[in-house]
Amino acid sequence: METSRIVYLGELRTEAEHVRSGNRFTTDAPIDNQGKGEFFSPTDLLATSLGACMVTIMGMSAKAHKFDIDGTKISVTKVMGTNPRRVVEIVVELTFPHNNYSAKERRLLELAAKECPVANSLHPDLKQTIVFKFAE
């Protein structure tokens, strides 16, 4: 079954539909590449997917080991390069709420993040900088 359908709207914008749920969103080219920057760009989505995937897999690990990471905040920064224009680095900063995480829980979370399918699907030349911040 197809995953999504995309329609080009013109003006460097698309509308994407998630086939299973019917949810939709619009993309826009970034300001530095002829767009208006009013919506996520395709490369923004690439970077954002990495952060969302990591915290989802960490949530699965936490659930399996009977602790939670509810309220974790993720900041994603996309770094663009040229020749060719591409994403050269994605910085994912994960800030966990105060939860007295044990050393074992912290290690489980770090291992889970690195096993996310998006991280494993990206080219090895794309630098992934992952920062874990645990509230004390």
Please write the tens of the pLDDT for every residue from 2-39. 999 999 999 999 999 999 999 999 999 999 999 999 99
Q: Is the peptide bond before 124 cis (omega within 30 degrees of 0)?
A: no
Let me know: does 9 contact 15? Beta carbons within 8 Å. Answer: yes
User: Which pair of tokens denotes residue 67?
Assistant: 């602790």
HSE (CB half, 13 Å, CA atoms) of 59? 11
Residue 135 pLDDT grade (very low, low, confident, very high; cuts 50, 70, 90): confident
**Do 87 and 43 meet the contact criterion of CB atoms below 8 Å apart?**
yes
Q: Can you list the domains of the chain with their CATH numbers? A: 4-33 (no CATH), 43-134 (3.30.300.20)
Arithmetic mean of pLDDT, 78-103: 95
Q: What b-and-e string marks burial along 86-121, b requiring 16 or more CB atoms within 10 Å of the CB?
A: ebeebbbebebeebebeeebeebbeebbeebebbee
Tens of pLDDT, residue by residue over 99-133, are 899 999 999 999 999 999 999 999 999 999 999 99
Residue 77, pLDDT score: 98
**AA letter at 71:** G
pLDDT at residue 67 greater than cutoff 80: yes
For the entire predicted model, the pTM comes to 0.92
The 8-class DSSP code of residue 32 comes to G
Residue 66: is its pLDDT beyond 80?
yes
Q: Is the pLDDT of residue 56 over 80?
A: yes
Cα–Cα dist 118/116, whole Å: 6
Q: Name the band, by pLDDT with cuts 50, 70 and 90, for residue 1.
A: confident
pLDDT of 40 over the 90 cut: yes
**91 pLDDT exceeds 90?**
yes
